[in-house]
């Protein structure tokens, strides 16, 4: 079915394009791969609203579109389909870059071997229990064995955080084949002026933007906000990737704590729609919880980097993965995770001291410019391709 | 003149909008020449051809066309695919897949917090993979 033999494959068990952090990451890394190789095949999840097949200049895009409600069935069928695509790609493929073990399983077991790069942002055996609490430990162990199989056979591994790298080394993966490529943010993209800026900036607000996964700590944030309700006119703005049952639960919590009128919800904003909310925020928060996903596995929160790029001071949970991006008291304030009182104290400090806000925001922006732009990430990724494809 | 209703774009999807050359024989949507599939003999849009190929792919080796249940033919295909590539890193039995019914059940949508925006699900509860 492929219309031209691909030299490179980028495979992601994620819908693409999307407004989630994963969507941003895929766009940046896939583009870097295809710029390096002169085009290739992008394989991702689709669905009714997505074209199953696209030709975009030098990139052929195939999306898995069959409806499987069961997660494991969908993951398995996604891999099966990839196997057939690999059959049709034949010997042309020089490099396969994938970001999930389901893709990896099809790739590393395919008879035609090419250089394989596993981009590890998260591991299903660790992250899935929060979405599927009924998953048995024995089932998660089976998934972990699939991960291990792929991790051991991949030629190279890239990951956005030292925390994740350390976790992989702890699983017996050779350190020499792991490259840490932190996530990035674009300073230029966040700058600019929007018609809504004046209205948005009318009252001071704390901004949270991102998903509503339990590990994001939204409940702690709402509880912290209730503790600073005496701060005049201060609002809490939550820009979430989508409206969900979980959002309704948080809305009920805000009502119970009698802060609902001062909590503003926005859903499904595009990057352009989010930008004015970000640049006018008094401060941004990343109240990550102290859970296995954030502690054992690690992460590299884009929301922190994007706030820093916008010159907005950040309050984040004091976790190893966050300390890779933020130095406490320099680019932001780090607070003990899962402690609404500690988070509220930090909010109060930044509300009361505008000079400190300006200092943290300025330093954050400088840190992004010097270290964490997407161009930095792309250069690091190109170096991996250069090494692997020589 | 109708406009092509196929979507295009890499970073974001937008309607093609080019003048349609014909209508797709499967979905009947107007489609321009660029979005007609050459492998279909230019009677189908790229989208319908790809969905058809995907359906065929999932019914390939090891499938059991006599079984209507999607789950059965998906399992069957996977067993056949891995067997045909001498792939046996795990305990694939003759009559079962790597994951048994007990494993699979806990990943049914109604047992997950499928609309909670948690890993493994997307905005409409469709399962996908990880957030950053």
Mean pLDDT of A149-172: 97
d(Cα B128, Cα B105) in Å, to the nearest integer?
A: 17
Convert the pLDDT of each residue in A289-313 to its tens digit. Answer: 999 999 988 999 999 999 999 999 9
Is the CB of residue A93 less than 8 Å from the CB of residue A112?
A: yes
Convert the pLDDT of each residue in A237-285 to its tens digit. Answer: 999 977 777 899 999 999 999 999 999 999 988 888 898 999 999 999 9
Which chain B residues have a beta carbon less than 8 Å from that of A160?
Answer: 132
In 10 A of CB A91, how many CB atoms?
Answer: 8
pLDDT band of residue B80 (cuts 50, 70, 90) is low
pLDDT band of residue B86 (cuts 50, 70, 90) is very low
Tokens 């350390």 correspond to A166
d(Cα A383, Cα A361) in Å, to the nearest integer?
A: 31
Q: Which of A100, A142, A210 sits opposite B98 (nearest CB)?
A: A142
Q: B interface mutation test: which of A43, A45, A53 has the most B CBs within 10 A?
A: A53
Per the omega criterion (within 30 degrees of 0), is the bond before A17 cis? yes
Pick the residue from chain B with its C-alpha nearest to A111. B85
| Alpha-carbon distance B21 to nearest alpha carbon in chain A (angstroms) | 18
Q: A interface mutation test: which of B18, B116, B121 has the most A CBs within 10 A?
A: B116
Is B123 close to A73, i.e. CB distance below 8 A? no
In 10 A of CB B21, how many CB atoms?
Answer: 15
Q: Which of B38, B54, B75 sits opposite A65 (nearest CB)?
A: B54
Convert the pLDDT of each residue in A42-96 to its tens digit. Answer: 999 998 789 999 999 999 999 999 988 899 889 988 998 998 899 889 899 999 9
pLDDT at B66: 35
Q: Does residue B1 carry a pLDDT above 70? A: no
pLDDT at B42: 83
pLDDT at B11: 87
Convert the pLDDT of each residue in A5-21 to its tens digit. Answer: 999 999 999 999 987 78
pLDDT band of residue B131 (cuts 50, 70, 90) is very low
CB neighbours of A184 closer than 8 A, spacing ≥ 6? A28, A305, A368, A372, A373, A374, A375, A376, A377, A378
pLDDT at A371: 96
Of A212 and B58, the one with more pLDDT:
A212
Is the CB of residue A222 less than 8 Å from the CB of residue A253?
A: yes
Is A122 close to B127, i.e. CB distance below 8 A? no
pLDDT at A192: 61
**Domain boundaries, given as residue ranges, for chain B:** 7-55, 59-101
d(Cα A268, Cα A19) in Å, to the nearest integer?
A: 7
CB neighbours of A349 closer than 8 A, spacing ≥ 6? A333, A356
What integer best gives the mean pLDDT of chain A?
93
DSSP B57-121: HHTSTT--TT---HHHHHHHHHHHHHHHTT--SS---SSS-SS-HHHHHTTSGGGTTTTTT-TT-
pLDDT at B94: 40
**Is 0.85 exceeded by the ipTM?**
no
Of B91 and A78, the one with more pLDDT:
A78
Mean pLDDT is lowest, of A65-69, B1-5, B53-57, B120-124, for B120-124
pLDDT at B63: 39
What integer best gives the mean pLDDT of chain B?
68
Mean pLDDT of A349-365: 97
d(Cα A281, Cα B57) in Å, to the nearest integer?
A: 49
- In order of A144, A263, B96, B118, the CA distances from A215 in angstroms are 20, 20, 35, 9
A99: Cα separation from own chain's centroid: 12
- Quickly list H helices, A16-136: 21-37, 71-89, 101-108, 124-131
| Alpha-carbon distance A252 to nearest alpha carbon in chain B (angstroms) | 15
Q: What is the percentage of chain A residues whose pLDDT exceeds 90?
A: 79
Convert the pLDDT of each residue in B16-69 to its tens digit. Answer: 999 999 999 999 999 999 999 988 888 899 999 999 888 887 776 443 333 334
Tell me the two tokens of residue A135.
């998953």
CATH fold of A8-184+373-389 reads Rossmann fold (3.40.50)
pLDDT band of residue B110 (cuts 50, 70, 90) is low
d(Cα B126, Cα B109) in Å, to the nearest integer?
A: 9
Q: B interface mutation test: which of A76, A240, A272 has the most B CBs within 10 A?
A: A76
Is A1 close to B53, i.e. CB distance below 8 A? yes
Mean pLDDT of A344-359: 98
pLDDT band of residue B116 (cuts 50, 70, 90) is very low
d(Cα A227, Cα A348) in Å, to the nearest integer?
A: 9
List the CATH code of the domain at A187-371.
Answer: 3.40.50.2000
Is A53 close to B49, i.e. CB distance below 8 A? yes
pLDDT band of residue A3 (cuts 50, 70, 90) is confident
Nearest of A151, A116, A155, A87 to residue A8 by alpha carbon: A116
d(Cα B90, Cα B22) in Å, to the nearest integer?
A: 49
DSSP lists the bridge partners of residue B22 as B31
Q: Does residue B127 carry a pLDDT above 70? A: no
CB neighbours of A193 closer than 8 A, spacing ≥ 6? none
d(Cα A371, Cα A94) in Å, to the nearest integer?
A: 30
């Amino acid at each position: 079915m492929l219309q031209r033999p691909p030299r490179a494959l980028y495979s992601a068990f994620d819908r693409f394009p999307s407004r989630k952090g994963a969507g941003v990451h895929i766009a940046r890394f896939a583009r870097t791969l295809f710029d390096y190789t002169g085009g290739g095949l992008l394989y991702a999840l689709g669905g009714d609203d997505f074209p199953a097949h696209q030709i975009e200049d030098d990139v052929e895009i195939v999306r898995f579109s069959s409806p499987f409600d069961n997660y494991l069935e969908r993951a398995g069928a996604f891999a099966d389909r990839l196997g057939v695509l690999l059959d049709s790609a034949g010997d042309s493929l020089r490099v396969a870059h994938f970001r999930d073990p389901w893709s990896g399983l099809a790739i590393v077991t395919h008879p035609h071997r090419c250089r394989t790069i596993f981009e590890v942002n998260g591991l299903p055996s660790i992250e899935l229990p929060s979405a599927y609490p009924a998953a048995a430990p024995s089932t998660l162990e089976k998934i972990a064995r699939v991960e291990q199989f792929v991790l051991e056979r991949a030629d190279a591994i890239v990951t956005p955080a030292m925390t994740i790298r350390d976790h992989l080394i702890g699983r017996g993966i050779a350190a020499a084949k792991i490259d840490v490529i932190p996530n990035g943010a674009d300073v230029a993209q966040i700058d600019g002026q929007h018609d809504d800026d004046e209205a948005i900036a009318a009252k001071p607000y704390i901004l949270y933007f991102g998903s509503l996964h339990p590990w994001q700590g939204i409940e702690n944030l709402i509880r912290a906000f209730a503790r600073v309700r005496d701060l005049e006119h201060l609002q809490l703005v939550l820009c979430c990737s989508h409206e969900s049952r979980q959002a309704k639960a948080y809305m009920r919590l805000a009502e119970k704590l009698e802060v609902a009128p001062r909590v503003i919800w926005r859903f499904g904003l595009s990057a352009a729609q989010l930008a004015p909310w970000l640049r006018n925020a008094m401060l941004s928060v990343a109240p990550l919880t102290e859970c296995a996903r954030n502690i054992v596995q690690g992460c590299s929160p884009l929301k922190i980097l994007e706030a820093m790029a916008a010159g907005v001071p950040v309050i984040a949970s004091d976790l190893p993965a966050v300390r890779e991006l933020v130095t406490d008291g320099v680019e932001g304030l780090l607070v003990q995770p899962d402690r609404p009182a500690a988070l509220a104290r930090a909010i109060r400090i930044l509300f009361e001291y505008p000079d400190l806000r300006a200092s943290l925001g300025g330093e954050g922006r400088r840190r992004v410019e010097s270290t964490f732009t997407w161009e930095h990430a792309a250069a690091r990724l190109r170096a991996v391709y250069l090494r692997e494809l020589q | 003149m109708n406009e092509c209703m196929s979507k295009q774009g890499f970073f974001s999807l937008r309607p093609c909008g080019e003048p349609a050359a014909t209508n797709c024989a499967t979905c009947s949507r107007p489609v321009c020449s660029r979005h007609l599939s050459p492998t279909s003999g230019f009677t189908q849009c790229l989208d319908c051809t790809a969905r058809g190929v995907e359906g065929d792919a999932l019914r390939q080796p090891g499938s059991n066309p006599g079984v209507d249940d999607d789950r059965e033919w998906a399992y069957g295909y996977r067993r056949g695919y891995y067997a045909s590539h001498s792939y046996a890193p795990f305990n694939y039995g003759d009559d079962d897949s790597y994951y048994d019914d007990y494993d699979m059940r806990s990943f049914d949508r109604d047992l997950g917090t499928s609309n909670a925006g948690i890993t493994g699900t997307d905005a409409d509860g469709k399962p996908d993979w990880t957030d950053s």
